[in-house]
Chains A and B, each alone.
Chain A
Amino acid sequence: MIRQANAIDFWRGFALVSIFINHIPGIYFERLTHRNLSISDSAELFVFLAGWSLGLLVSSRKAELTAAGLVARLGGRAMTIYAAQILISSIALALLAAAAFAFDNPLILEWHNAAAAFQDPALAHIGLVLLTHQLGYFDILPLYVVLMLAAPLIALIDKFAKPALLPISLLLYFCALVVPFTAPTWPVTGQWFFNPFTWQAIFVLGFALSRDEGIGAVVRRNMRLVQIVALPIVLVTAVLVWFNWFPDPTRLPEPKLLFLNGKSFLTPMRLIQFLALAAVFSGSYAHFAPWVPWLADFLSSLGRNSLNVFCVASLLSLCGQIARYLYTGSLLADTIIVIGGIGLLRLTAWVSEWRDRRTTSA
């Protein structure tokens, strides 16, 4: 039974479409995504909603899932995401190689951190399997894998020591910012684009806020007040982003990561702005969905099949980059890429649900 369109799936679909567009650098429609007026972008939304979905899953199965069952179920989900990451990375490498060969342009082999896979394949492939070598724009699923591997622990802390969950998460978050530390890459020395030690905070916040108890209940009870506080934050930061009015990072006090705007470390500025944005738009779905039911259905269908759609979106973004290079990035080409790409994302969702229906009926 396919679930009805709902706010969570809708916003997840929205994040997926934004990620697809934003991952084609230079495309005209990039300037229409919400990151042009927001410090945070669709990556924060995607990870927050992943945590939210975990919270709903744990809540709905509270009675029936034992601790062992929870670990098995969430661990299985992590393995599925890991397999998806390996698959799309392999396809991406093949796409780059095919494009380099077909268009007689070996420079394409250097795109997206792929050079190591072609020049140092033995170690790079070990890195790909260990998730320590990530292709550019294919770096959010490794974070998701780590978060899902941590999910059983999160669920168990929630089950047996609920009040400790958020403090532990925030402690880790601030330690990673203050020390600072992150996950390294290998064999090419560097850092993960998404620092898992800081990004876990938004995942755990999504988890905690989805619940009808604890901080989730407190926020729901005081939503009007939260929105009154959040709205000025959203408006002021929109102005800051629009005019690029950010302080010189070298002049900020130490520890600088507490004060600057950095995506890799999900700095507090981004986290707070995202939470404010989420609060302002919280409940808005119920108001506009009746007016645009087709849009609600469309984006919800993408959100319901988020992993499959995300994988296809990542590969389509890469195809879009190659197409833009070939067709010199005209507005017409950009429009075809975006409309064609979103159409294919919808097809992916439809095929996923068709397959699920057939499996269920069989």
Chain B
Amino acid sequence: MPLIAGVRAGVRAGVLAGLLAGALCQGAWAQDKPDTPPVPPPAVAKDCGEPNVTVTPLPNSALALQKRQQVKILAIGASSAAMLGMGHDGNPPLLEEILERNIKGLDVEIINRSYSGELAEAAGERLKIEVALNHPDLVLWQVGTNDAFAQVPVENFEQSVTNTVRWLKDHDVDVILVGLHYIKQLSKDEHYQAIRASLQRITAAESVLRITRYEAMEVLARTMRENGRPEPRDFGLTEAGYNCMAQYVARAIAVGLFAKPPRPHAAPSPTR
């Protein structure tokens, strides 16, 4: 046990030190005010591949940071480990540690309400209750995998997720969708891919942030193959894989917190 704990502590310290060093080298990420121009967000460990995180503002979370120096994050969905990183020995989840170390003065409160096996429709209903009870600024929702395995019709899935995302936006809660996992064996599974495509459509249509878990892992797997390294069978389903996900999420949140909100469409010039 001491050995395991020691190794874990080493891995955790290494990840955090790497991230911190990366951030410092890139130019002092820590900011006092959220409206400060964005600077490079927390680095993602090299072994995690390159997440394709689009710059999507998280206005409600940015406002919370500005007003209270605190961001309340509600985690919901199938696997909390895959969003928050594995928390060991009473330590807070890795996501919380990364964000607090990289954004000066930020207090992150993570409320984990993940219940495994829940489909998007049921999770959406429960999510509303959790929002009412906990008043989060940001919801991290891992969604899709259970629906894909349970063969939920794509249109039902899309409707459920869209309705919930719109409800969250209407209630001034930011949302980040954590997408499906990459598994080579499922790359030709029609339903799995259809659910994945559906999630892409939702995020594009609703302008919400999606952690492209699948794509990042797919790119990394391909890179490893090309470099002659064996592609792990349980890709990403290790502690290191979960911690990579936490880093992706941390990066996405950091980018979103300091991103400028989109400009409102300019009103057409009056014509005579």
Contacts and interface: CB of A to CB of B under 8 A. Distances in A.
Interface of A: 25-26, 103-107, 109-116, 119-120, 122-123, 135-137, 180, 187-191, 193, 248-250, 252, 256-257, 260-262, 321, 324-325, 328-329
Contacts of B251: none
Contact of B146 (A25, A123, A193): A25
Q: Which 6 A-B pairs have the closest CB atoms?
A: A329-B151, A26-B150, A136-B116, A249-B132, A136-B117, A106-B234
A113 B191 CA distance: 23
Nearest to B132: A249
19 contacts: A105-B183, A106-B234, A107-B145, A109-B234, A111-B117, A111-B146, A113-B115, A115-B79, A115-B82, A119-B239, A120-B88, A187-B87, A189-B93, A190-B114, A249-B128, A250-B131, A325-B150, A329-B150, A329-B151
Interface of B: 1, 4, 78-82, 86-89, 93, 110, 112-119, 122, 126, 128-129, 131-133, 145-147, 149-152, 171, 181, 183, 185-186, 191, 233-235, 237-239, 242
B117 A25 contact: yes
A288 to B, nearest CB: 31
Contacts of A248: 128
Contact of A107 (B86, B113, B151, B237): B237
B116 A107 contact: no
Given A26-B150, A26-B151, A107-B183, A190 B237 contact: no
Given A26-B151, A109-B237, A189-B87, A328 B79 contact: no
Contact of B185 (A105, A249, A329): A105
Contact of B149 (A250, A261, A262, A321): A321
Contact of B191 (A191, A193, A328): A328
A104 B171 contact: no
Contact of A188 (B80, B129, B238): B80
B82 A189 contact: no
A18 to B, nearest CB: 16
B233 A104 contact: yes
Chain B contact surface mostly: loop
A135 B132 CA distance: 26
Given A110-B181, A120-B239, A122-B4, 11 more contacts: A25-B117, A103-B185, A105-B183, A106-B183, A136-B116, A180-B133, A190-B114, A193-B115, A250-B171, A325-B151, A329-B151
A21 to B, nearest CB: 13
Given A105-B186, A321-B149, A328-B151, A110 B78 contact: yes
A256 B132 contact: yes
Nearest to B151: A329
A262 B237 CA distance: 32
Contacts of B238: 119
Given A136-B116, A248-B128, A122 B1 contact: yes
A249 B173 CA distance: 14
A136 B115 contact: yes
Contacts of B237: 106-107, 109-110, 115, 119
Nearest to A330: B151
Nearest to A115: B81
A105 B180 CA distance: 13
Contact of A324 (B79, B114, B151, B186): B151
B74 to A, nearest CB: 11
B185 A25 contact: no
Contact of A250 (B78, B117, B132, B147): B132
Contacts of B185: 103-105
Contacts of B114: 113, 188, 190
A253 to B, nearest CB: 11
A107 B131 CA distance: 28
A186 to B, nearest CB: 9
A262 B119 CA distance: 17
A120 B81 CA distance: 10
A252 B132 CA distance: 8
Nearest to B180: A107
A171 B4 CA distance: 45
Contacts of A119: 81, 86, 237-239, 242
